Amino acid sequence: MHQPDPHKLSLNTATVRQQWTLAQIIEGCARHDIRGISPWRDQVAELGLLQTSRMIKQHGLTVTGYCRGGMFPGNDEAERRRHLQDNQRAVDEALELNAACLVLVVGGLPAGSKDLSGARNQVRDGLSALLDYSRPRGMNLAIEPLHPMYAADRACVNTLSQANDLCDELGDDGLGLAIDLYHTWWDPNFQQEITRAGSKRLLAFHICDWLNPTQDLLEDRGMMGDGVINIRAFRQSVEALGYIGFHEVEIFSRKNWWMRDPDEVLRVCKARHKEHG
């Protein structure tokens, strides 16, 4: 499909979280006929899990992903155990919200560590333990590879190849990938790795744009069409493999979109999704 299906647009709540509460975001999505939503755990905790679930159901929204689990590495067994328990709670919350998947930002180096290989081993072990909990409950876990600039503090899984390797090792029953173009558009093996993943592993697809130059590595994401990513070509590539899920807009933008009227932001999201998605 040349143009994206407008009913496949989803809003990651980070896109307007500085302006609106979660309740306002849910109502805003319904008002703008954006049918998908992906909330963050701290926002859900503030509104209340059951109230969040009720509001989302009342407005007929689909929870395309739940942000976020992960952060597996720790300096000792007790710390890693706390992380696992928190991830198990995240699985339970995602189930209550009927989320399509729990998105995993796997974590970087433990405090004071320089052992990147060891951190990646901890991610594998932590993910394996979480799968023992999530699989019987039927919640999909989506590994989100983050750009290598985040390897130290946020995610030591940085390529689609690394994420696919974990799926190969741990099994892809209830385990797959969340592909965020902000983090993966640069990967020369993108097509090869999404083909390797296949439609079963493609659990989520996040869109925004990479501004050139970028002013901040975390909070200067661009609206679709404002940067250098050929979003439409990537979207067509994943859909050609059988991906039928939503296209989730996730924008961190402290000096631009977070300063704008959120109704305007949602209107622009819809227009840019149609034009560039």
* CATH code at position 203: 3.20.20.150
Could you give the CA distance from residue 175 to residue 215 in angstroms, rounded to a whole number?
A: 34
Could you give the CA distance from residue 114 to residue 110 in angstroms, rounded to a whole number?
A: 8
Binned at pLDDT 50, 70 and 90, residue 1 comes out as low
For tokens 């933008």, name the residue: 253
Does 230 have pLDDT greater than 90? yes
Extended strands (E) in 79-184: 102-105, 141-143, 175-180
Residue 16 counted as domain residue: yes
Residue 108 counted as domain residue: yes
Residue 1 counted as domain residue: no
The pLDDT mean for the chain works out to 98
The tens digit of pLDDT for each residue in 187-196 reads 999 999 999 9
Q: Average pLDDT for residues 181-201, to the nearest whole number? A: 98
Residue 242 counted as domain residue: yes
Percent share of the chain, pLDDT over 70: 100
Q: Give the range of the structural domain holding residue 90, as residue numbers without chain letter.
A: 6-276
- pLDDT for position 276: 98
Q: Are 87 and 80 in contact (CB under 8 A)?
A: no
Residue 206 counted as domain residue: yes
Residue 103 counted as domain residue: yes
- pLDDT for position 80: 98
Q: Which residues contact 86 (CB under 8 A, 6 or more apart)?
A: 69, 71
- pLDDT for position 209: 98
Query: Residue 209 pairs with which residues in a beta bridge?
Result: 222
The tens digit of pLDDT for each residue in 104-149 reads 999 999 999 999 999 999 999 999 999 999 999 999 999 999 999 9
- pLDDT for position 47: 98
**pTM of full prediction above 0.95:** yes
Binned at pLDDT 50, 70 and 90, residue 100 comes out as very high
Structure-token pair, residue 217: 């590595």
Structure-token pair, residue 52: 């969040």
For CA atoms 260, 266, 271, 274, give the dihedral sign.
positive
Binned at pLDDT 50, 70 and 90, residue 239 comes out as very high
How many distinct structural domains can be found in the chain?
Answer: 1
Does 160 have pLDDT greater than 90? yes
Q: Average pLDDT for residues 217-235, to the nearest whole number? A: 97
